Amino acid sequence: MIDIKLLRNDPELVKENIKKKFQDEKLPLVDEVLTLDKEYREAKTRAEYLRSQRNKISKEIGYCMGQGKKDEAEQKKAEVAAMADELAALSVKETEYEEKIDKIMRVIPNIIDPSVPIGKDDSENVEIEKFGEPLVPSFEIPYHVDIMENLNGIELDPARDTSGNGFYYLRGDIARLHSAILSYARDFMIDRGFTYYIPPFMIRSSVVTGVMSFSEMENMMYKIEGEDLYLIGTSEHSMIGKFINTLTDESQLPQTLTSYSPCFRKEVGAHGIEERGVYRIHQFEKQEMIVVCKPEDSKAWYDRLWQNSVDFFRSLDIPVRTLECCSGDLADLKVKSCDVEAWSPRQKKYFEVGSCSNLGDAQARRLGIRIKPEDKSKGNYLAHTLNNTVVAPPRMLIAFLENNLNEDGSVRIPEPLRMYMGGKSVIEVPAK
């Protein structure tokens, strides 16, 4: 959500940004906001003038009454009454204009960073860098579900019976591996100076609309019937919401947080839900990282966040690459974003396992997240917010199993995970 002052002062910049995101259907919204903003400010100016006149006349009424000029006082009372009626009408207009402007401003995309490549969709995202050697073993890598079933680690049919497609039961060593990855991710981020959180898993609509666009909300979020609560799609939602309507001292920044949560997503759209597989599902668990910082520090934090993900995967010997999201692939609130993709030896290509985003002051503007400067001569200002996936085990499990699979079907356990796996260095195939 951009500052209306920017739209007011440089509407052509806002229109050009809309074009870069290939959302030309939104171009008329800029002029619509300008018209509504002009009418809003005129109504506000008129209301302020009437209030000053009302105060002035009210004093005159008192003077007239003191001088015994009752008829003149009554005439002035009638003027004040007329003003009250007009002020009431103007107040209604102001509210209507504010609501219309806010609704449209939430649809106009954030100004993207100049470094973002211009492209229509994710097919035009740009590879930045590769980390680790992507290897393909001499033996065939089975589908990830087949690997897990061979290890007695997943049950899909019972999950379809209890919950439908997009759900699964993990069991045995695979369930333990899932938890081990999350535990290692938690400690990995704590060691990097982040404060560990377990947040609420449900949030109010005022937080949902503060952290994401309405279209994203409709496609992702599950609503709790009869209550103003939504199941979170990622812990970023709760963690950014934690700062709603806060004023944080500059000296307390940056706030660097890492949070665990289950995540719930409708996954509405073209991708659909696999009947067999754990790549795109309705329920999963994730370790996230969140930063709230000064605007001038957000670029550096963006680079640190995606590097954390790269370092995490490389510590487990999984090759990854970073992919710069092009303008058409950026969600409307994002200034800049990159995906971290892991190597799939089975598919002989990379696939997304996390996403790092700088949202500038968009979320802060919607949620009222402000910073109090140390320099008292400066006014309060909006924070910048960033988020990044440390790890989401369903997709991480795919990358992990494929990259650590032995020819006999067993799976290697890298050193960092062994303490969370009871000292195991390998998951053996159970005897039939």
* pLDDT tens for each residue of 157-171: 998 899 888 889 999
CA distance 47 to 352: 54
State whether residue 418 is helix, strand or coil: helix
For the cut 60, the answer to whether the pLDDT of residue 246 exceeds it is yes
CA distance 282 to 266: 6
For the cut 50, the answer to whether the pLDDT of residue 113 exceeds it is yes
pLDDT given for residue 31 in this prediction: 96
Q: Are 374 and 408 in contact (CB under 8 A)?
A: no
For the cut 90, the answer to whether the pLDDT of residue 32 exceeds it is yes
pLDDT given for residue 270 in this prediction: 40
In this prediction, residues 422-430 reach a mean pLDDT of: 95
CA distance 198 to 202: 12
- pLDDT category of residue 336 using cuts at 50, 70 and 90: very high
For the cut 80, the answer to whether the pLDDT of residue 260 exceeds it is yes
pTM strictly above 0.85: yes
Domain 4-105 falls in which CATH fold? Helix Hairpins (1.10.287)
For the cut 80, the answer to whether the pLDDT of residue 268 exceeds it is no
For the cut 90, the answer to whether the pLDDT of residue 47 exceeds it is no
* pLDDT tens for each residue of 365-407: 999 999 999 988 889 999 999 999 999 988 899 999 999 999 9
Judge residue 294's burial from the number of C-beta atoms within 10 Å of its C-beta, 0-12 exposed, 13-18 middle, 19 or more buried: middle
C-alpha separations of 88 from 46, 50, 75 in Å: 12, 11, 20
- pLDDT category of residue 73 using cuts at 50, 70 and 90: low
In this prediction, residues 265-278 reach a mean pLDDT of: 60
For the cut 90, the answer to whether the pLDDT of residue 250 exceeds it is yes
For the cut 90, the answer to whether the pLDDT of residue 88 exceeds it is no
For the cut 70, the answer to whether the pLDDT of residue 290 exceeds it is yes
CATH number for the domain whose boundaries are 122-427:
3.30.930.10
CA distance 323 to 18: 22
For the cut 60, the answer to whether the pLDDT of residue 271 exceeds it is no
Tokens of 128: 């930045």
CA distance 295 to 383: 6
Longest dimension (CA), the chain: 108
pLDDT given for residue 61 in this prediction: 67
* pLDDT tens for each residue of 7-30: 999 999 999 999 999 999 999 999
Mean per-residue pLDDT of the chain? 91
CA distance 368 to 382: 8
For the cut 80, the answer to whether the pLDDT of residue 236 exceeds it is yes
CA distance 155 to 152: 8
Domain ranges within the chain, ordered by starting residue: 4-105, 122-427
CA distance 348 to 342: 11
